[in-house]
Chain A
Amino acid sequence: KNEVEQSPQNLTAQEGEFITINCSYSVGISALHWLQQHPGGGIVSLFMLSSGKKKHGRLIATINIQEKHSSLHITASHPRDSAVYICAVRGDFGNEKLTFGTGTRLTIIP
């Protein structure tokens, strides 16, 4: 079992729909990242979370430390949101590396 599990693996939605991507992890963490990667492109860090909730524009990220679960929401989705979204966790002190989920491929249809 992977230390970081994402669901769904693929998601296709109509423009304007509310999108939710889930991430569950099985290890102790110091931080959780949501990353965005466009095809052939670089990686952009959308959020870094250690507790609670963060919002940036149409994007919202939440984390529940007790349940070891995080969600990324996109409101009023747009075709330009089409990308792979990756959840990554950073381990506790002394284990600084990121461990990644396999990503969710999101396609927004106009």
Chain B
Amino acid sequence: NAGVMQNPRHLVRRRGQEARLRCSPMKGHSHVYWYRQLPEEGLKFMVYLQKENIIDESGMPKERFSAEFPKEGPSILRIQQVVRGDSAAYFCASSRREIRGEAFFGQGTRLTVV
């Protein structure tokens, strides 16, 4: 049973480009969470999704950021028109519906905006 898979591991984008970060949860996991870790800062919650539903997006910036978790395929975190301040490590975690509180993390995607 493969762990949570995130890709790419490293992503470099120029200012104004779009960044797409992918997260494939563990097999059997239907809940996905995205977290952001800014340089020299702690982890912060961004969004919580279940299949085809956004449950809690209270941590998402109001503009340029969106997330989805379709019925088939990975969860996608999309950042439009990236700026230097978006440079960070983005982590995805997944859990099973029936096991409240658990969290299995991916290796993260390190986004650098140049």
- Chain B residue with the shortest CB-CB distance to A40: B110
- Interface status of B108 (Cβ within 8 A of chain A): yes
Q: Report if A100-B43 is in contact (Cβ < 8 Å); known contacts: A35-B105, A43-B108, A45-B105.
A: yes
Interchain pairs with CB closer than 8 A, number:
65
Residues from chain B with a CB closer than 8 A to the CB of A90 are: 100-101, 103
- Count residues of A near B (Cβ-Cβ below 8 Å): 25
| Interface size of B as a range | 20 to 34
How far does the alpha carbon of A42 sit from the alpha carbon of B20 in the complex, in Å?
19
How far does the alpha carbon of A102 sit from the alpha carbon of B45 in the complex, in Å?
13
Whether the Cβ atoms of A42 and B48 lie closer than 8 Å is: no
Which of A40, A41, A50, A102 has a CB less than 8 Å from the CB of B101? A50
How far does the alpha carbon of A86 sit from the alpha carbon of B37 in the complex, in Å?
12
Shortest Cβ distance from residue B25 to the other chain A in the assembled complex, whole angstroms: 14
Whether the Cβ atoms of A45 and B43 lie closer than 8 Å is: no
Shortest Cβ distance from residue B101 to the other chain A in the assembled complex, whole angstroms: 3
- Chain B residue with the shortest CB-CB distance to A100: B43
Shortest Cβ distance from residue A6 to the other chain B in the assembled complex, whole angstroms: 9
Whether the Cβ atoms of B100 and A100 lie closer than 8 Å is: no
How far does the alpha carbon of A35 sit from the alpha carbon of B108 in the complex, in Å?
14
How far does the alpha carbon of A103 sit from the alpha carbon of B105 in the complex, in Å?
16
How far does the alpha carbon of A100 sit from the alpha carbon of B41 in the complex, in Å?
11
How far does the alpha carbon of A97 sit from the alpha carbon of B45 in the complex, in Å?
7
Whether the Cβ atoms of B101 and A44 lie closer than 8 Å is: no
Shortest Cβ distance from residue B6 to the other chain A in the assembled complex, whole angstroms: 8
Q: Report if A31-B101 is in contact (Cβ < 8 Å); known contacts: A96-B55, A97-B48, A102-B42.
A: yes
What 9 A-B pairs come out closest when comparing CB atoms? A31-B101, A42-B107, A43-B105, A97-B45, A100-B43, A102-B42, A100-B42, A90-B101, A30-B101
